[in-house]
Amino acid sequence: MRQGDSPEGAATRETACAVLQQVRAGQPFDRALNRAVENLDDPDRRFVYQVSAGVLRHQDALDEVLAPLATHGWSRVPDSLKDVLRIGVYQLRYLDRVPPHAAVSTSVAVARNLAGERSSGFVNAVLRKVAADRLSTPTTRRPVTLSREFSHPDWLVAR
């Protein structure tokens, strides 16, 4: 696949990345979302909202999954690529209607378009690992893990 080519759905993920970048730059979420989705049809608007809001809501849990998989350190991964990975993991962990292969392939296409071929290989490797591990969740989990996964305060989950 050449740069500019992308599987179906990559455009909505790129739009979600744009929303996340604008929010991180200080833009209010609703304003960033409204600007980004104004030319999309209704199902795509809803998907961009769901993914971008979900990534912001569950960022700690997503980063907890991703950080150990960044072999050279999570802090060295560019912010735009972190968002691509977060979107991919969010789809794998929280969205039942997105098949794992679609979450991986669209994230790889977005990474390729945003950061080049080398970055797309990194995204592919990381998300394939997450996809392979997604069904192997431990039966008992610590409260801190649950609090990050479900975006609740530690004290409430422990209680």
Instruction: Confirm whether 27 is domain-assigned.
Output: yes
4 belongs to a structural domain: no
Q: Does the residue 54 lie in any domain?
A: yes
**Whether pLDDT at 20 is above 70:** yes
Query: Does some domain include residue 80?
Result: yes
* Average pLDDT of the segment spanning 4-33: 89
* Mean of pLDDT values over 6-24: 90
Domain membership of residue 5 (yes or no) is no
Domain assignment present for 37? yes
Question: What's the gap between Cα 126 and its chain centre?
Answer: 12
Mean pLDDT across the chain: 87
User: What is the model's pLDDT at position 135?
Assistant: 52
Region 42-59: mean pLDDT is 96
Q: Which residue has the higher pLDDT, 145 or 96?
A: 96
Report the pLDDT value the prediction gives residue 139, as an integer from 0 to 100: 45
Question: First vs last Cα of the chain: how many Å apart?
Answer: 50
Q: Is residue 14 part of a domain?
A: yes
Q: Residue 67 is part of a domain; what is its CATH number?
A: 1.10.940.10
* Higher per-residue confidence, 72 vs 143: 72
Number of domains in the chain: 1
Residue 2 lies in a domain: no
Q: Which domain holds residue 102?
A: 10-158
116: left (phi over 0), alpha (psi -120 to 50) or beta: left
